[in-house]
């Protein structure tokens, strides 16, 4: 008998995992849960999440509960065998975590970088390796026992967008690997996290994006990588924000490569210097 699976996710990071699960014959995705439609940019209409759009294309049932009570009632009525959570963006009710088998895919090598911004944290700290950790969820955020962990290298050319996409694919393969092993009754012993080794990462705030000239070069270079292409690390020139989307370190100087002046399109730094007759200090 096929295992009944409910998938909970929201952004495009979760899409490769949902796509890969659809192809596993021994499970049935009975429902997809994502966040409600909302206005995502000024002046636009409400739009669906990437996961909702994908689920509808795959002809899957979709729900967008607006609160914990609705979420809880939905899960209790559907009675899944497995609840798979990846970048859902909402905290699951304790009654669900305690009474259903819930797994979560987190974009770090736990217990490192528990929290909201693990991809950015790895880049900000100039790490050379990160990965995906699949855990059996408990009531505490990102503290569940580890069921599977896969790592990947962080290359010097990687920025947030590149690493995000690499980890999204790794999450998909990690989830499929765990399900296939579980269905074949391969013994997977949960490994408790060593909480004394835990590190944490916070939600990114606007002030984190500023490239303070007082910072050392490596710190600002790491910020450019961690926040490119969005939301974009920035410096200030003539009271205007200039986003630095790519840069390099040369002769102990941080040299922009690609920039985006406030209200303008992305351009090369060479074009910026010619057009604005100025240079940037970052």
| Domain interval for residue 113 | 3-201
Give the pairing of strands 62-63 and 27-33.
Answer: parallel
| 276 three-class SS | helix
**In the chain, how long is the greatest CA-to-CA distance?**
69
Whether residues 196 and 221 fall in one domain? no
Whether residues 123 and 141 fall in one domain? yes
Whether residues 155 and 189 fall in one domain? yes
The token duo for 120 is: 């950015």
Average pLDDT over residues 7-25: 97
Which CATH number goes with the domain that contains 242?
3.10.25.10
Whether residues 123 and 148 fall in one domain? yes
Whether residues 97 and 153 fall in one domain? yes
pLDDT of residue 45: 83
Whether residues 184 and 263 fall in one domain? no
pLDDT of residue 282: 61
Whether residues 67 and 150 fall in one domain? yes
Predicted confidence band of residue 1 (pLDDT cuts 50, 70, 90)? confident
CB 247 within 8 A of CB 229: no
Q: Which of 4-8, 12-16, 43-47, 263-267 has the lowest mean pLDDT?
A: 43-47
Question: Per-residue pLDDT tens for 58-109?
Answer: 999 999 999 999 999 999 999 999 999 999 999 999 999 999 999 999 999 9
Instruction: Kindly tell me the burial class for residue 10, based on how many C-beta atoms sit within 10 Å of its own C-beta (0-12, 13-18, 19 or more).
Output: buried
237: Cβ contacts below 8 Å, ≥ 6 apart = 276, 278, 280
Report d(CA 4, CA 147) in Å as an integer. Answer: 19
Whether residues 143 and 58 fall in one domain? yes
pLDDT of residue 166: 99
Higher pLDDT, 189 or 153: 153
Q: Is residue 282 part of a domain?
A: no
Question: Per-residue pLDDT tens for 203-256?
Answer: 999 999 999 999 999 999 999 999 999 999 999 998 999 999 999 999 889 999
State the CB neighbour count (10 A cutoff) for residue 151: 12
Give the pairing of strands 145-153 and 129-136.
Answer: antiparallel
The token duo for 47 is: 């739009």
Whether residues 7 and 129 fall in one domain? yes
pLDDT of residue 82: 97
State the CB neighbour count (10 A cutoff) for residue 199: 14
Report d(CA 220, CA 218) in Å as an integer. Answer: 6
- Pick the closest to residue 200 from 126, 142, 152 (CA basis): 142
Of 166, 201, 236, the one marking the end of a domain is: 201
The token duo for 143 is: 């503290």
Q: Is residue 211 part of a domain?
A: yes
């Amino acid at each position: 008998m096929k295992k009944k699976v409910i998938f909970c996710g929201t952004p495009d990071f979760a899409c490769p995992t949902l796509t890969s699960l659809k192809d596993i014959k021994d499970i049935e995705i009975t429902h997809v849960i994502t966040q409600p439609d909302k206005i995502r940019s000024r002046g636009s209409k409400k739009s669906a999440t990437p996961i909702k759009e994908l689920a509808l294309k795959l002809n899957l049932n979709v729900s967008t509960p607006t609160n914990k009570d609705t979420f809880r009632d939905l899960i209790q009525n559907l009675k899944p065998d497995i609840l798979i959570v990846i970048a859902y963006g909402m905290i699951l009710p304790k009654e669900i975590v305690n009474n259903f088998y819930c797994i979560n895919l987190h974009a770090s090598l736990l217990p490192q970088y528990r929290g909201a911004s693990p991809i950015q944290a790895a880049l900000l700290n100039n790490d050379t390796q990160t990965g995906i950790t699949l855990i059996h969820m408990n009531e505490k955020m990102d503290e569940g026992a580890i069921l599977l962990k896969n790592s990947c290298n962080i290359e010097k050319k990687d920025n947030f967008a590149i690493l995000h996409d690499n980890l999204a694919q790794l999450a998909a393969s990690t989830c499929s690997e765990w399900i296939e092993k579980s269905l074949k009754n391969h013994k997977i012993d949960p490994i408790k996290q060593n909480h004394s080794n835990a590190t944490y990462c916070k939600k990114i705030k606007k002030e984190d994006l500023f490239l303070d000239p007082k910072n050392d070069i490596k710190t600002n270079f790491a910020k450019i990588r961690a926040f490119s292409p969005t939301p974009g690390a920035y410096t200030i020139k003539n009271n205007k924000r200039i986003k630095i989307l790519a840069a390099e370190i040369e002769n102990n100087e941080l040299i922009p490569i690609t920039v985006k002046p406030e209200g303008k399109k992305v351009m090369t730094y060479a074009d910026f210097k010619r057009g604005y007759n100025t240079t940037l200090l970052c």
